[in-house]
Amino acid sequence: MATEAAGIDRPLLVDDFLQRRRYQLQLADAAADEHTLVCLPTGLGKTTVSLLVTAERLHEAGGKALFLAPTKPLVQQHADFYREALSIPDDEIVVFTGDVKPDDRAALWDDARIVIATPQVVENDLVGNRISLRDVTHLTFDECHRATGDYAYVYIAERYHADAADPLVTGMSASPGGDTEEIETVCENLGLVNVEVMTEDDADVDEYTHDTDVQWEQVTLPDEVLAIRDALNEVITDRLEKLKQLGVTNTTNPDLSQKDLNKMRGQLKQMMDNDQSEGYKGMSTHAEVMKLRRATELVETQSVESVRRYFERQREAARSSGASKASQRMVADPKVREAMRKAESFDGLHPKFSKARILLAETLGINEGERAILFTESRDTAEALVEFLSASFDVRKFVGQGDKDGSDGMSQKQQQETLDEFKAGEFEVLVSTSVAEEGLDVPEVDLVCFYEPVPTAIRSIQRKGRTGRQAEGKVVVLMAEDTRDEAFFWISRRREKKMASQLTELKQATDDIEDTVGDDGQAGLDAFSGGDAATDDDAPDDDATADAVEAEEGDEGSKGDADAGLTDFAAEARGGDEAGGEDDAGDTEVGDDTADADDDGVVATAGVDEGVEIVVDQRELDSSIAKDLSTRDGLVTRLETLAVGDYVLSDRVAVERKSAADFVDSMLDSDRSMFEQVGELSRAYARPVMIVEGTNLYGQRDIDPNAIRGALASLAVDFDVSVLRTESEEDTTELLATIAKREQETRDREVSVHGEKTTKTRAEQQEYVVSSIADIGPVTARTLLEHFGTVEAVMTAPEDDLLEVEGVGPVTAERIREVVGSEYE
């Protein structure tokens, strides 16, 4: 056992609340001096290290601290700990998640000394200009290995280094990456220049850890389950033969690797980019292979119940509006239907269920253990396990907050209550999906059971960290023999050993890595601080762009507000960044907070108040455009829930943005068509703009190119909308910035948000109701209504009468009668 030690006596800490552990104090002292990555095994108090740094910074530098954690339960857990450990009033330690309304967050931010938040919410508030990072003197990224790609940590770090007056960053993780390059990437993305590593081999750490016994248990699948898998594999082989004929693969083995599938997809995408029609058909076949592979993985590694649910969802998807051909072909294939029938008739038990029950009986009964955790990748499996194990044990589930395919998620309150009850010993078995892996203070347990191997080092280490902290524990991995489980297991073993050795090597080579990230990091910090103002090369040089936006004035303006020439336009594009002034942005969620569902549309004024303003619809936060705009010198972004349009650039210019795929999809959308959206846009704004983003517009969904050209012509001629094409999100960002600067700086126009969605007419509502029946679409709906006269008559018409209507064949007539006449289940 670890020896008892005196408490820590430092400013802002509750006396003797924290146990004095030398390794934590050493790490905190190092992290207080530089932007630092702290690597420490799970369960040994990374949060305490960050709290010690926060307390020192608030005492020495003042300001406020921001602590970011990837999930709502983690945020709440950290907030509770901070309130207990710090002598700061509880109301000055505030929680920011999507459950807190945006305008409430803006007010809470100003008065808080410590904000603990999910990163998506902070990202949204920065883009919306609701909060300022200028006075934040310590920023902690918990589970910082997530700081790659488009994850919100990366954007927040960029803004923090650019905006804060006196920044200090601490990144924390038990497993920062699978190799040195990944670790360096995390450091560069967060601006970290110092690396501090403690392993279980360190003397100061060793006394607080105990051995964890890891073993794996093989199970053999029954013949009935193998028959389901084999039927699906026959279909996969057939589809791979078709792809082989296209020259994108040399194998028809259904057990080919994910790497091979990714390579195949890349070749097909290249064919599509070259406008080869075979590429589109091949991509659809590839999608079918991926769906079938998922089904075989479920039946092999999860349960027959999970594959049953999967098939049901695929059937529903195939019947839905805009269903992919891949889904439709898959569920119609005779071999797949045979597999579905076998799954429906199977009434046995997957051997993993039996093995899990035996392991729990040994741990909790024979060995008199108190608690166990069973992890699974699948929510379907988690729910089935809870139902099965509840006959023998007191079991609860722990899943994410999102509702998925008929399965209700857990609210943050429910998650916290479940963890509290587990810690208190009110039940003995927790069945959890991956949401419980990262950092949640799940109590020490006697057994961690993996229902399936975890093929990534980070997730495996995070999970096994739940046992072996204060007493010896056991980890068991269940594997189905001769299935993907075995491949995943060996991949996980190899990666985990590699990460363990790399953490040791990282500890030994921190100086070299610090030199690498230090040099690159300083360059990055300089870039953060310097902004990214557009250059001459960034400015569009296209007469069509200028003419499209600045169309003939008509009744809108006087002749004195005439079109600018190309020379003037280019000068505006160049001069806007130079003349726009210095950006004052410094004054400015699953698996959960991807958007502010309660955003009431109030424009915030917490940050920059001067500069060219772009109002962004909050639903556009899924793209990188709003974030990119928010980092531009001389630009101010605001978030609203816009009634019409995606971006408002002045009192007369609003933009509807669609990707090439969305453009074609919205032509076919019977719910809210593109023309309805554009009609509302053109009624609300004098200069409506449609941006169609991306290449290969005419290669989407096998739509006749002339139909797409007709839609473009209708937008320009019938709706008087300027249709502009861009190649990418980056290109769209440049175009939006250029138009906004031209409107507000050169034309001296202000931003004004107006317009509202119009209510459908009675005829439109009738068409909508009929078109939704069996997804028959708006054209056939109008024909049916013209023939029968009322919605009621369409609904009650017998099949023979339906067949008399032009455009209605036997399949459509049968589907209408099936939907209208079938009993609701």
Give me the mean pLDDT over the 290-295 stretch: 91
Give me the mean pLDDT over the 707-716 stretch: 89
**pLDDT score recorded for residue 539:** 36
**pLDDT score recorded for residue 66:** 97
pLDDT of 601 over the 80 cut: no
**pLDDT score recorded for residue 509:** 58
Give me the mean pLDDT over the 425-449 stretch: 74
Confidence of residue 532 (pLDDT cuts 50, 70, 90): very low
β-strand pairing of 194-197 with 372-375: unpaired
- The segment with the largest mean pLDDT, out of 431-445, 572-586, 723-737, 767-781, is 723-737
β-strand pairing of 653-659 with 647-648: antiparallel
* 740 in Cβ contact with 612 (< 8 Å): yes
Whole-angstrom Cα distance, residue 296 to residue 543? Answer: 55
Confidence of residue 137 (pLDDT cuts 50, 70, 90): very high
Helix (H), strand (E) at residue 478: strand 473-480
**pLDDT score recorded for residue 116:** 96
**pLDDT score recorded for residue 584:** 33
**pLDDT score recorded for residue 404:** 62
Query: Pick the residue with more confidence: 743 or 572?
Result: 743
DSSP string covering 438-469, please? SS--PPPBSEEEESS---SHHHHHHHHTTBSS
**pLDDT score recorded for residue 565:** 34
What is the model's pTM? 0.61
- The segment with the largest mean pLDDT, out of 203-207, 375-379, 398-402, 422-426, is 422-426
- Indicate the burial class of 693 (C-beta count within 10 angstroms; 0-12, 13-18, 19 or more): buried
Confidence of residue 136 (pLDDT cuts 50, 70, 90): very high
pLDDT of 141 over the 80 cut: yes
Q: Among 12-16, 351-355, 430-434, 514-518, whose mean pLDDT is lowest?
A: 514-518
Give me the mean pLDDT over the 770-795 stretch: 82
How many helices, marked H, and strands, marked E, lie in the chain?
32, 19
Give me the mean pLDDT over the 200-208 stretch: 73
**pLDDT score recorded for residue 392:** 92
pLDDT of 465 over the 60 cut: no
**pLDDT score recorded for residue 789:** 92
* 657 in Cβ contact with 732 (< 8 Å): yes
**Identity of the residue numbered 50:** S
**pLDDT score recorded for residue 64:** 96
**pLDDT score recorded for residue 591:** 39
| Residue 778 phi, psi (nearest 5) | -70, -35
**pLDDT score recorded for residue 611:** 81
Tokens of 257: 């690797």
The closest of 747, 697, 410 to 546, measured between CA atoms, is 747
* 144 in Cβ contact with 176 (< 8 Å): yes
pLDDT of 413 over the 90 cut: no
The closest of 666, 663, 669 to 777, measured between CA atoms, is 669
Contacts of residue 805, defined as CB under 8 A and 6 or more positions apart, other chains included, come to 783, 784, 787, 788
Tokens of 169: 């960053």
Query: Pick the residue with more confidence: 286 or 403?
Result: 286
* 813 in Cβ contact with 803 (< 8 Å): yes
pLDDT of 581 over the 60 cut: no
**Identity of the residue numbered 491:** I
Whole-angstrom Cα distance, residue 670 to residue 785? Answer: 15
Whole-angstrom Cα distance, residue 542 to residue 547? Answer: 9
DSSP string covering 697-737, please? GGGSTT--HHHHHHHHHHHHHTS--EEEEESSHHHHHHHHH
User: 387 in helix, strand or coil?
Assistant: helix
pLDDT of 192 over the 70 cut: yes
- Indicate the burial class of 112 (C-beta count within 10 angstroms; 0-12, 13-18, 19 or more): buried
* 65 in Cβ contact with 139 (< 8 Å): yes
**pLDDT score recorded for residue 331:** 85
| Residue 247 phi, psi (nearest 5) | 85, 15
User: 336 in helix, strand or coil?
Assistant: helix
Contacts of residue 704, defined as CB under 8 A and 6 or more positions apart, other chains included, come to none
pLDDT of 103 over the 70 cut: yes
User: 197 in helix, strand or coil?
Assistant: strand
| pLDDT 10s digits, 675-686 | 888 888 888 898
**pLDDT score recorded for residue 313:** 84
**pLDDT score recorded for residue 540:** 37
Whole-angstrom Cα distance, residue 54 to residue 112? Answer: 14
Give me the mean pLDDT over the 101-128 stretch: 91
Query: Pick the residue with more confidence: 466 or 30?
Result: 30
Give me the mean pLDDT over the 781-807 stretch: 89
Give me the mean pLDDT over the 370-386 stretch: 87
- The segment with the largest mean pLDDT, out of 115-129, 365-379, 676-690, is 115-129
**pLDDT score recorded for residue 306:** 84
Place of tokens 């948000």: 753
Whole-angstrom Cα distance, residue 774 to residue 29? Answer: 65
Whole-angstrom Cα distance, residue 189 to residue 194? Answer: 13
pLDDT of 690 over the 50 cut: yes
Tokens of 748: 């001296």
pLDDT of 98 over the 60 cut: yes
* 343 in Cβ contact with 311 (< 8 Å): yes
- The segment with the largest mean pLDDT, out of 63-72, 321-330, 500-509, 512-521, is 63-72
Confidence of residue 304 (pLDDT cuts 50, 70, 90): confident
**pLDDT score recorded for residue 597:** 38
φ/ψ bin of 702: left (φ > 0), alpha (ψ from -120 to 50), beta (otherwise): left
Query: Pick the residue with more confidence: 699 or 460?
Result: 699
pLDDT of 783 over the 60 cut: yes
Confidence of residue 629 (pLDDT cuts 50, 70, 90): very high
Q: How far is CA 134 from the centre of its chain?
A: 27
Give me the mean pLDDT over the 25-51 stretch: 89
DSSP state of 763: H
Give me the mean pLDDT over the 613-637 stretch: 90
Question: What mean pLDDT, rounded, does the chain reach?
Answer: 79
**Identity of the residue numbered 403:** D
**pLDDT score recorded for residue 809:** 83
Whole-angstrom Cα distance, residue 757 to residue 676? Answer: 9
Tokens of 540: 């569009």
Place of tokens 């289940």: 825
| pLDDT 10s digits, 380-399 | 888 889 999 999 999 999 88
